[in-house]
Amino acid sequence: MKNWSEAIHDGMLGGALAAAATVGVLALCGRRETRSAAAPLNAVSHVYWGEQALHENRASLRYTGAGFVTHLLSALMWGIVYEKLLGERRARSLLRVARDTAAATAAIAAVDFKVVPARLTPGFEHRLSTPSLFGVYTALGLALAAATRWSSSQRAHRWRTRSRSAAVSTPPSAARSDR
């Protein structure tokens, strides 16, 4: 299991990637289903602006900006939680990453729609169909999986590089111990 420092570092990457992927899916699905790419993100701001945000179609700083920032912070938080609970210092098999990420994404959706009070749900579920919601959470899972695979491979690469350089850079005085 990663320590908090590693989980925060890697989780920020995963969360940022997840936010970008899910905002893209939200915009595409919103455009297709409501004729407004901003509508699903506007709905996220229902946390602050109430029912009106669930029906707003135009992009605005008040609704879209607040919805984007809230969505980004949520994705960053889930990225950190994911890395702390499921992230490992060494690379896992692709099958194991897929299994773990599918379970984590299902748990995130359950928290989003069943655990938190209605005022704290994502909001975009009021504007999008069930298949589109599935697409949003699939994008979330794929982004978290890609980020954890990348961060694990980078950590392994740095470890191998340090090990090789430590072996190569033996000080000359240590090499001549016959004196």
Confidence of residue 146 (pLDDT cuts 50, 70, 90): very high
Confidence at 153, pLDDT banded by 50, 70, 90: confident
pLDDT the model gives residue 155: 66
Segment 110-114 shows an average pLDDT of 98
Predicted confidence at residue 179, as pLDDT, reads: 47
Q: Does position 130 have pLDDT exceeding 70, yes or no?
A: yes
Residue 92, pLDDT score: 77
* pLDDT in the model for residue 110: 98
Q: Which pTM value belongs to this model? A: 0.85
Looking from the CA of 52 toward its CB, the CA atoms found within 13 Å total 6
CA–CA distance from 110 to each of 116, 122, 130, 155, 160 (Å)? 9, 12, 14, 31, 39
Q: What does the pLDDT look like over 156-177, one tens digit per residue?
A: 555 556 656 555 555 555 555 5
Name the pLDDT band for 89 (thresholds 50, 70, 90). low
Query: What tokens were used for 133?
Result: 């919601």
Termini Cα distance of the chain: 46
Instruction: Please state the separation of Cα 105 from the chain's center in Å.
Output: 10
Categorize the per-residue pLDDT at 134 as very low, low, confident or very high, splitting at 50, 70 and 90: very high
Q: Dump pLDDT digits (tens) for 63-86.
A: 999 999 999 999 999 999 999 999
Least confident range from 15-19, 31-35, 130-134, 167-171: namely 167-171
